[in-house]
Amino acid sequence: MAIPSGSDFPLENLPYGVFEARDGRGHIGVAIGDRIFDLRTAAEAGLLENVGDRASYSAGSLNPILEAGPELWRALRERLADLLARDGDPVLRNLNVARFFVDQCSARMRVPVEIGDYIDFYSSEQHATNLGKMFRPNAEPLLPNWKWMPIGYHGRAGSIVIDATPVSRPCGQRKPASAAIPVWGASTMLDFELEIGFLTGRAAIFGVVLVNDWSARDIQAWEYQPLGPFLGKSFATTVSPWIVTMDALAPFRVAPPEQDPQPLSYLRIPGDANYDINLEVKLETEEMRRRGMGPIGIARTNAGGLYWTFEQQLAHARSNGAKIRPGDLFASGTISGSASGSYGSMIELTWGGSKPITLPSGERRSFLEDGDEVTLHGWCERRGLRIGFGVCRGRVAPAQICAGSATQER
Ligand code: CA
């Protein structure tokens, strides 16, 4: 199997997704180079005999595979590595090979899992500190509970959309500082949040995707007290189409930052529990697109520095007896580094809008404008091995008319 050099999807990756096949149904596939290997067609041709239940491969989502558990995941990964190895498996070679493959560039991807519950954490110390400084300028930036447990909230699974889905600017209630009473209208402080998220399977974490937790800062700032995020974040959350498995990520494990104070015993989970995932955010405006300028990088960071690890997030989420199900999504929260070019949201990059970014087109941005497209990238690189996550894109569409008129101010 020929893999273009620098591809996000070499043989060592083999991430899973769901694409819309020619028959109009969702097919489970695995990304290899710039193509997709169609697992449903492969299973129907008998190429996955003795690797799980054939019916699992004809589902329109990855849920049956997530539910099958780690033993099947390992067996499937081995089988796929054999089938897709450089010279190809003899079985595959003797068949009409083309029908098992689809070009990624022409494939329409779907959210790969029917996501049951969605939790969004707040695991980056730098991000929590930056927001604390902005929202509570005269107090300690981190609240007293932050270093004792992973803080999070339950998000809205029904608003999770796949890469490249347009995101309409939300309308809502907000209260400008100068106004005596709140107003209704389209958000004027639309933001992205650079995150990664893991999906649970039976008895283990299955894999990781890129997550953009779109946020309307003006709606959020007015509504969040005392119960936390609500409509300012529930209108859209974009995920990347390929789930990179924990097996593929294993070579990129790193030690998380030292935790001080030492957490309570149920959160003491030693080991190299973080992942060295490089992350980048690119922005392209309508004007940049018109002038053929291409997108520009506005932030670069790494997930290896997250204070709270996946295992700690999971341990905390189930510590009250809540049942975690296969297909639940746990997002990290915005990932920011300590330097200004490493912040994972506009509100941090422009410091609450007070320091707008100047783009190559001469335009300035405090928050996102209609037509702006945000692209998240993620990749791991170590000792000559590189795997990637593909992209997680979303373009801002003008506000829809909701609950009256988008332009109505009250
Ligand atoms: Ca978030």
Please check the confidence at residue 410 and state whether its pLDDT lies above 50.
no
Residue spans per domain, the chain: 16-110, 118-397
Amino acid sitting at position 4: P
pLDDT recorded at residue 87: 67
Please check the confidence at residue 193 and state whether its pLDDT lies above 70.
yes
**Backbone torsions φ then ψ of 13, nearest 5 degrees:** -95, -70
Q: How far is the CA of 157 from the centre of ligand 1 (A)?
A: 13
**Percent of the chain's residues with pLDDT above 70:** 96
Confidence class of residue 2 from pLDDT cuts 50, 70 and 90?
A: confident
Q: How far is the CA of 307 from the centre of ligand 1 (A)?
A: 15
User: The domain 118-397 belongs to what CATH superfamily?
Assistant: Fumarylacetoacetase-like, C-terminal domain (3.90.850.10)
Please check the confidence at residue 192 and state whether its pLDDT lies above 80.
yes
CATH 1.20.1260.10 fits 16-110, yes or no: no
pLDDT recorded at residue 245: 98
> CA–CA separation, 129 vs 351, rounded Å?
12
| 380 strand-pairing partners | 387
pLDDT recorded at residue 95: 72
Global pTM reads 0.96
pLDDT recorded at residue 406: 44
Q: How far is the CA of 189 from the centre of ligand 1 (A)?
A: 15
pLDDT recorded at residue 311: 98
DSSP at 400: P
Q: What is the mean pLDDT of residues 132-154?
A: 95
Helix (H, G, I), strand (E, B) or coil at 282: strand
DSSP at 279: E
Matching fold, domains 16-110 and 118-397:
no
Q: How far is the CA of 122 from the centre of ligand 1 (A)?
A: 7
Alpha carbon 29 to its chain's center: 19
> CA–CA separation, 178 vs 2, rounded Å?
60
Report pLDDT digits (tens) over 270-307. Answer: 999 999 999 999 999 999 999 999 999 999 999 999 99
Strand residues in 122-266 grouped as ranges (E): 152-154, 160-162, 167-168, 171-174, 183-186, 190-191, 194-200, 205-213, 215-216, 237-239, 244-245, 253-254
Report pLDDT digits (tens) over 338-361. Answer: 998 999 999 999 999 999 999 999
Report pLDDT digits (tens) over 69-111. Answer: 999 999 999 999 999 987 666 677 767 788 999 999 999 999 9
Please check the confidence at residue 268 and state whether its pLDDT lies above 90.
yes
Give me 63's structure tokens. Answer: 């849920």
- Active-site annotation, residues: 127
DSSP at 358: E
Q: What is the mean pLDDT of residues 8-12?
A: 97
| 392 strand-pairing partners | 376
**Percent of the chain's residues with pLDDT above 90:** 91
Please check the confidence at residue 405 and state whether its pLDDT lies above 80.
no
User: Average pLDDT, whole number, for the chain?
Assistant: 95
Sign of CA dihedral 331, 154, 238, 225: negative
* C-alpha dihedral, 119 to 171 to 113 to 42, nearest 10°: -150
Give me 273's structure tokens. Answer: 């529990």
Q: Which residues have C-beta within 8 Å of that of residue 158, sequence separation ≥ 6?
A: none
Q: How far is the CA of 50 from the centre of ligand 1 (A)?
A: 41
Report pLDDT digits (tens) over 355-393. Answer: 999 999 999 999 999 999 999 999 999 999 999 999 999
Helix (H, G, I), strand (E, B) or coil at 263: coil
> CA–CA separation, 380 vs 91, rounded Å?
32
Q: How far is the CA of 337 from the centre of ligand 1 (A)?
A: 15
Q: Which residues have C-beta within 8 Å of that of residue 96, sequence separation ≥ 6?
A: none
Measure the CA angle with vertex 242, ends 167 and 282; round to 5°: 50
pLDDT recorded at residue 92: 74
Confidence class of residue 14 from pLDDT cuts 50, 70 and 90?
A: very high
Q: What is the mean pLDDT of residues 205-223?
A: 98
